[in-house]
Amino acid sequence: MARLPRLYLPGCAQHVIQRGNNREACFYNETDYKAYLSFLKDAAAKYQVAIHAFVLMTNHVHLLVTPENEHSVSRMMQAQGRKYVQYFNYTYGRSGTLWEGRYKSTVVDADNYLLTVYRYIELNPVRAKMVNHAADYPWSSYRGNAMGKPVQLLTPHVLYHQLGKTNNERQAAYQGLFKGLVSENDVATIREATNRGWALGDERFKEQVATQTGRRPNPLGRGGDRKSAAFRQNQ
């Protein structure tokens, strides 16, 4: 079956997942994490991708980004991925692939899911029981978004700016979002949309995606899409 083209909407954020091949570790020590972030920063600047949130887990990476154009994210991921693999293979005397095929991605309905995806990404180490709080994990964007730590890689999304009038107000409001975990339903919804390449949003957003991209934003129901003219004509 042919792969569906990636979804893209101008100005629309995307959630991106990059996994290690066979779930093997991609990072062994602090130097590895720093190298990945350095390569990512350079590639994001070169290909005009704004990075709003990130987390580097042991064997995979999550990003929340807004690309400048349709090819920005793919070019960024190819560039930083290539450089990091070269670095990793040289450092550890290995060869071959490091990443599990293509990265996964989905467009994100900002009004309904953007801040939830921020939380989903930065709470990954908590869900994995690696730390008790997002602030305890050094390889995510939480300390930048919630605590004001300078992170050159980060570009706040407009909805983040709307959390308050000052940096202190925004950081306090952001910290308030982390008083609980993301619901299991939202976690499942985000995972499915990203892994399958479907739009993450409400029905209005999905209709917008379909109209602007000409591509299905979600899977067909069993037996076909009963609302489609094509399905009715075949009955």
Q: Is residue 204 domain-resident?
A: yes
How many domains does the chain fold into?
1
| Low-confidence residues of the chain: pLDDT under 70 | 1-3, 220-235
Q: What is the pTM (predicted TM-score) of this model?
A: 0.91
- The answer to the question of residue 5 being in a domain is no
Asked whether residue 219 is assigned to any structural domain, the reply reads yes
**Confidence (pLDDT) at 2:** 55
Residue 123 inside a domain? The answer is yes
Could you tell me if residue 1 is inside a domain? no
The verdict on residue 7 lying in a domain is no
Predicted confidence at residue 220, as pLDDT, reads 67
Q: Which two tokens stand for residue 46?
A: 């070169």
- Asked whether residue 9 is assigned to any structural domain, the reply reads no
In a domain, 211, yes or no: yes
Q: How far apart are CA 191 and CA 200, in angstroms?
A: 10
CA 102 – CA 46 distance, rounded (Å): 20
Asked if residues 168 and 123 have their Cβ atoms less than 8 Å apart, the reply is no
Question: What CATH number is attached to the domain comprising 32?
Answer: 3.30.70.1290
Long-range contacts of 187-193 (CB under 8 A, 24+ apart): 187/120, 187/127, 190/15, 190/113, 190/116, 190/117, 190/120, 193/15, 193/106
**Contact present, 234 and 142 (Cβ < 8 Å):** no
Question: Are 219 and 19 spatial neighbours (Cβ–Cβ below 8 Å)?
Answer: no
Q: What is the pLDDT of residue 219?
A: 81
Which residue, among 58, 222, 72, has the nearest Cα to 155 in the 3D structure? 72
Give the structural domain span for 175.
Answer: 14-233
What's the pLDDT score for residue 224? 42
Provide the pLDDT for residue 5. Answer: 82
